[in-house]
Amino acid sequence: MAVIATSPAYCQLGFADIDQMLDIEQQVYSHPWSRGNFTDSFLSAHDAFGFRNSQQQLFAYFLMMPVMEELHLLNLAVGAEYQGQGYARQLISKMFDYAAQKQAESILLEVRCSNQRAIEVYLKAGFSEIGKRKSYYPAQGNTREDAIVMRRMC
Ligand SMILES: CC(C)(COP(=O)(O)OP(=O)(O)OC[C@H]1O[C@@H](n2cnc3c(N)ncnc32)[C@H](O)[C@@H]1OP(=O)(O)O)[C@@H](O)C(=O)NCCC(=O)NCCS
């Protein structure tokens, strides 16, 4: 029987999606967001969007915080089984559509210096490094890690 590929459903996310986001956080981050982080973000009216598979299971998402005319990317993650299939690229394209709707001038993000994979994704999407934040992230063994700050004009 022929297998018909279906595109994932793109949708806005809210409090009801936090459990599924927490599952993905545990899979893909050394220092995952907590329930409190997501709750605070939604209470602050940050917008989140993601992809669901045909079983309605969330497998990728991003969260945005508006700061004046700039949008700040707070989090972007693709579930472990779904990585390397172009979903980050698709999510970022949706993020650009969202930025255009909001008439944002630019998108800003931070990424761990060691997160070469994500840095590559952002560079390919047109982001450039604009600076570093020293010791921004918690790291292994009670140490801290620098963040690279990247921006893309809309
Ligand atoms: C970083 C992350 C979002 C990438 O998601 P993804 O869906 O695997 O990425 P894509 O498949 O869309 O790949 C996009 C680009 O990433 C790069 N890439 C993908 N897999 C890679 C790998 N294993 N090594 C290096 N670069 C890779 C490629 O440049 C690819 O470009 P291409 O389409 O021209 O080949 C995903 O690995 C993830 O969720 N990581 C954990 C959370 C995280 O680090 N988020 C970023 C926080 S700032």
CA 1 to ligand 1 centroid distance, Å: 32
CA 105 to ligand 1 centroid distance, Å: 25
What pLDDT does 126 receive?
98
User: Cα dihedral angle (120, 126, 130, 134), rounded to 10 degrees?
Assistant: -30
Cβ(39)–Cβ(18) below 8 Å: yes
Cβ(83)–Cβ(59) below 8 Å: no
Half-sphere exposure of 142 (CA within 13 A, CB side): 0
CA distance 58 to 3: 21
What separation in angstroms does the CA of 67 have from each of 19, 32, 96, 108, 134?
27, 23, 16, 10, 22
Closest ligand 1 atom to residue 24 Cα is 39
Cβ 31 under 6 angstroms from ligand 1: no
Cβ 133 under 6 angstroms from ligand 1: no
pLDDT tens for each residue of 65-102: 999 999 999 999 999 999 999 999 999 999 999 999 99
Domains along the sequence of the chain with CATH: 9-153 (3.40.630.30)
How large is the average pLDDT for residues 55-71?
96
Cβ 74 under 6 angstroms from ligand 1: no
Handedness of CA 63, 47, 25, 8 (dihedral sign): negative
CA 127 to ligand 1 centroid distance, Å: 14
CA 77 to ligand 1 centroid distance, Å: 9
Amino acid (1-letter code) at residue 81: E
Please check the confidence at residue 64 and state whether its pLDDT lies above 70: yes
CA distance 54 to 61: 16
Q: Hey, which of 73, 75, 83, 151 would you mutate to test ligand 1's pocket, going by the most ligand atoms within 8 Å of its Cβ?
A: 83
pLDDT tens for each residue of 21-39: 999 999 999 999 999 999 9
CA 85 to ligand 1 centroid distance, Å: 8
**Which residues have a Cβ under 8 Å from the Cβ of 71 and sit 6 or more positions away?**
64, 65, 98, 99, 102, 104, 106, 107, 108
- Confidence category of residue 114, pLDDT binned at 50, 70, 90: very high
Q: Which long-range contacts (CB under 8 A, 24 or more apart) does 124-127 make?
A: 124/89, 125/89, 125/92, 125/152, 126/152, 127/151, 127/152
Could you tell me if residue 103 is left (phi over 0), alpha (psi between -120 and 50 degrees) or otherwise beta? left
Closest ligand 1 atom to residue 111 Cα is 48
